[in-house]
Structure 1
Amino acid sequence: MLNQVALIGRLTRDVDLRKTQSGKEVGQFILAVNRSYKNAQGNVDADFISCQVWHNADVLSKYTHKGSLISITGQIQTGSYDNKQGQRVYTTDIVVDHFDFLESKSSGTQPIQNNHQSQQQNDDQTPIISGDDLPF
């Protein structure tokens, strides 16, 4: 069985870096990923995908910000919990195994390589979401 996801997109906000009770760092973020087709109005829609990063979460948090273009690979993880009203809430997240920075922090356009991750190239068929396209 295979459960692997590869995405390229932009952070919708800065990575939310937290520590577990045992002191392990975890980062949570939403990745805006353009769809590969246009809607009826001729625009490209985006999906907003919830992600968690455990390995090198501090590095991702330190070197990215809202609008940063990154690539990730990981697995889909589903879960559920009961909210305050007693209703069951189902969740779907990508648990990130690997990430790459696809532009420099200062210029916002040039690919860079991170010491902890190897760089992956964006192919010409993947649409790019600019930071100005984010709704928040």
Structure 2
Amino acid sequence: MINNVVLVGRLTRDPELRFTSNGSAVATFNLAVNRNFTNQSGEREADFVNCVIWRKPAETLANYAKKGTLIGVVGRIQTRNYEKQQGQRVYVTEVVCDNFQLLERANSSESQSNNSSTNQESSSFNHNNQANNDFKRNSDPFGNSSQVDISDDDLPF
């Protein structure tokens, strides 16, 4: 069976970080994800997806992301249920996130609300603190040299 979810959206509120009785961190948050089409009045609608993330990624998300932050998440859909005190059964469907990435600079969302016409490059931050390379979109990856010195034997094709 396949149960994979990949979402990109904005946080509707600050992540809520809590700790279980055995000390595991868990953060819950809600992600607003735009639909690919507009409604009859030309407005783009969004889905609001409940998400949960555990352990170190939960702590990192709570420390670096806040309401309005654009993030990408990878995880799976999970449905759980519990019984209320009144005896009613409640079903909850949520995305259990394995990984996330911040998809813009920290001040980018603030600038976007102040100046919506600014075209800003997005950078990503992986919760594993892997190299955060700040490559410009149209920059030359080989520096200022106009030719690359490589033999035909080194080419994979």
Tell me if both proteins adopt one fold, taking TM over 0.5 as the criterion. Answer: yes
Match of 1:111 in 2: 123
Specify which structure has the higher proportion of helix: 2
Q: Which moved more, 1:104-113 or 1:80-89?
A: 104-113
Instruction: Provide the secondary structure at the position in 1 that maps to 2:126.
Output: coil
Specify which structure has the higher proportion of strand: 1
1:50 alignment partner AA? N
Match of 1:133 in 2: none
Higher Cα radius of gyration: 2
Q: How do 1:32-111 residues align onto structure 2 when only pairs under 5 Å count?
A: 32-55=32-55, 56-108=57-109, 110-111=122-123
- Higher RCO (CA < 8 A, seq sep 6+): 1
- Return the offset for 1:115: 5.5
* C-alpha RMSD over aligned residues: 1.6
Give me the whole-angstrom Cα distance separating, in 1, the residues matched to 2:49 and 2:104: 20
Give me the whole-angstrom Cα distance separating, in 2, the residues matched to 1:38 and 1:45: 7
Give me the whole-angstrom Cα distance separating, in 1, the residues matched to 2:84 and 2:127: 40
Q: How many residues align?
A: 119
User: Sequence identity, in percent?
Assistant: 45
C-alpha deviations, 1:32-73, integer Å up to 9, x for none?
Answer: 000111111111110000000014111101001000000001
Give me the whole-angstrom Cα distance separating, in 1, the residues matched to 2:75 and 2:129: 14
Instruction: Compute the TM-score of the two structures, normalised by the length of structure 1.
Output: 0.81
5+ unaligned residues in a row in structure 1: which ranges?
Answer: 120-136
Native 8 Å contact 1:17 1:57 kept in 2: yes
- Return the offset for 1:117: 5.9
Give me the whole-angstrom Cα distance separating, in 2, the residues matched to 1:72 and 1:50: 12
Give me the whole-angstrom Cα distance separating, in 2, the residues matched to 1:52 and 1:40: 33
Native 8 Å contact 2:100 2:127 kept in 1: no
1:3 alignment partner AA? N
